[in-house]
Amino acid sequence: MKRRVVPLSGLSGSYFAHQTLLRRFIGRFISRPQDIEDIAQEAYLRAFHAEKSGEQVRSPKAFLFRIAKNVALNELARKSKLLTDYIEDSAASHVIDSGTSAEQQLMGEEKLALFCQAAASLPGQCRKAFLMRKVYGLSHKEIATQLGISTSTVEKHIASGLQRCSAFMRDAGYPVEERSQTEGGRRNRIRL
């Protein structure tokens, strides 16, 4: 006797029907495959609980994708905060070890915090490319591969990130040194 398989409906059916597309969508925000899988599962669980609590959902696919986007953005914000805290802690311990005055140390911490705010204010794709280059030291080609964009777009994002962060710092009263220097055949005009 064969068992009859009943197709799933609602959010569960939508999740199983669109899970590959959902993972690709999450990949626009998050790059690590483990994180993508975790976020997809978290989105499904949240959607499942919403459905079981009696919430009326007109478009299960759209609802699921909205939950996934919110979870991914929350994860990005959490990781960004951790990175900022780590950078601030590392910079603070370096400043303390260098024998600088308390005033210089405080100014350095304020400048670093302001720079972190400037980087956090960049548009999503620009911020990712900028941080991957400036914090993680990835090459333009590695960044392009991870983000699924061309190397020229990576270069534009990094240049835009430098200009925007520089303007942010200048607007806050911190002078930013501008100099023209070649590095690997490319001109870098702004140094923070």
Please write the tens of the pLDDT for every residue from 38-82: 999 999 898 888 888 887 878 888 899 999 999 988 887 787 777
Question: Could you give the CA distance from residue 128 to residue 107 in angstroms, rounded to a whole number?
Answer: 27
Top-level CATH class of 9-78? Answer: mainly alpha
Domain boundaries of the chain, sorted by first residue:
9-78, 124-192
For the domain spanning 124-192, the CATH number is 1.10.10.10
Alpha helix positions (H), 27-139: 33-52, 60-97, 102-120, 124-134
Q: What is the residue-averaged pLDDT of the chain?
A: 77
Q: What is the pTM of this model?
A: 0.43
pLDDT, position 191? 42
CB 112 within 8 A of CB 88: yes
